[in-house]
Copies of this chain bind each other. A is one copy, B any other.
Amino acid sequence: MSIRRIDPIKRYLILAEGYSDDLHYGKTARGVIDYGPHPVVAILDSRRAGELERGIPVVATVNDALCHGPTTALVGVATQGGRFPPAWRALLRSCISKGLDVESGLHEYLGDDPELADLARRHGVELRDLRRPPGDLSVPTGEGLEVAARIVLTVGSDCAIGKKTVALLLDREARSRGVASAFVPTGQTGIAIAGWGIAVDAVIADFVAGAAERLVVEGFTRGGTDVLFVEGQGSLVHPAYSGVTLGLLHGSFPHAFVLCHLAGSSEVEGYPGHPLPSLPELIELYEHVALRARPARVEAIALNTRDLDEDAARAAVAEAEQTTGLPVDDPVRFGAARLVDALLARTHPRP
């Protein structure tokens, strides 16, 4: 089996020790709670035990979680560099010895840890590394150019500003209109939500484009025969992750981009001294790097207005429309209808 698939029946305990209220590092937890098909029955964060987070009980220990009937513990944080915080080992051992399967999206694989792997064997549970790539990846074959669906890639000014969420919401809106659409997951949270995918940031660098191509081909066979909404990664102006961004951009052969931006941000988060270009400059940059064999335009902008009140959000949307001349909206706040209208107005190409 060359593309990761996840067991369809589960009840999640999300491990978010120290991060359950952190919007940046807790993005896996948040994505699975808000968009996943599986119930999240408890969240583990000892600092906040007894509280509710999005209506879900927060517990202090794995034992406290058991009365909620979890089947699967999900590592709900994405650390920089993708390594395990050392204090987590005890937590993982506890989950395994209580009979929970464990899913993780970090670069450090649970299954490669001899102690945890041995413990899992003894307790009959599975360790699933969402980011572990298939073993048979290679360079693109060109098959991606033949996919007979319109391919829309979410791109962005930075990481963790909503590229995955926007792709999920656009797909959901398109499907609600009877369009044969599919979400194409390219990262660990998208995989946890959709139950399939490849984390393109975890593959060997030479094979990022090949992995991206395989994902759009798979998305088409999974029912996205009209349109594929591909989850973007990183940013072309991110000093750490731009290589993944460009490999995914070329290998997924998009016809159109949706540019995602956090309203008010002006610097790469966590990288002081790395300024963000303006929206018109970002549009120019993304369109400039598209392959000549598959030119692509930014056709809409998804503005993340989470830091603004509603009036300021509407003003920011209007200002971005003014500046760029493109349809702009915050699909999380105001719904995805306007952006989907704009994206589906184009004819679907048939190669």
Contacts and interface: CB of A to CB of B under 8 A. Distances in A.
Interface residues of A, number: 45
Interface stretch (A8-16, A20-28, A37-45, A286-294): A286-294
Interface in A257-284: 271, 273-275, 277
A246 B239 contact: no
B251 A247 contact: no
B204 A203 contact: yes
Contact of A243 (B82, B243, B291, B293): B243
Contacts of A145: 273
Interface stretch (A135-143, A148-156, A170-178, A303-311): A135-143
A200 interface: yes
Contact of A205 (B203, B236, B277): B203
Interface in A113-165: 138-140, 142, 145
A24 to B, nearest CB: 15
Contacts of A80: 138-139
Contacts of A107: 204, 206
Among A145, A241, A271, the one with the most B-chain Cβ atoms within 10 Å of its Cβ is A241
B247 A293 contact: no
A191 interface: no
A61 interface: no
Interface in A169-226: 200-206, 208-210
Given A81-B139, A210-B240, A240-B206, A289 B292 contact: no
A246 B209 CA distance: 13
Given A205-B244, A206-B241, A209-B241, A292 B271 contact: no
Nearest to A83: B138
A206 B202 contact: yes
A130 B18 CA distance: 40
A285 interface: yes
A255 interface: no
A97 interface: no
Contacts of A244: 205-206, 208, 243, 247
B209 A201 contact: no
Contacts of A243: 205, 208-209, 243-248, 250-251
A53 to B, nearest CB: 28
A143 to B, nearest CB: 12
Contacts of A273: 142, 145, 293
Given A274-B292, A289-B236, A289-B289, A209 B242 contact: yes
Interface in A82-134: 82-83, 107
Contacts of A81: 138-139
Contacts of A274: 291-293
Given A142-B239, A201-B205, 6 more contacts: A82-B206, A140-B240, A200-B205, A201-B206, A204-B204, A206-B241
18 contacts: A80-B139, A81-B138, A107-B206, A200-B205, A201-B205, A202-B205, A202-B206, A205-B205, A205-B208, A206-B240, A206-B244, A208-B243, A240-B251, A243-B243, A243-B244, A243-B245, A243-B251, A273-B293
Q: Give the 10 A-B CB pairs with smallest separation, nearest first.
A: A243-B247, A81-B138, A139-B240, A201-B206, A208-B243, A246-B246, A243-B243, A205-B205, A205-B244, A205-B208
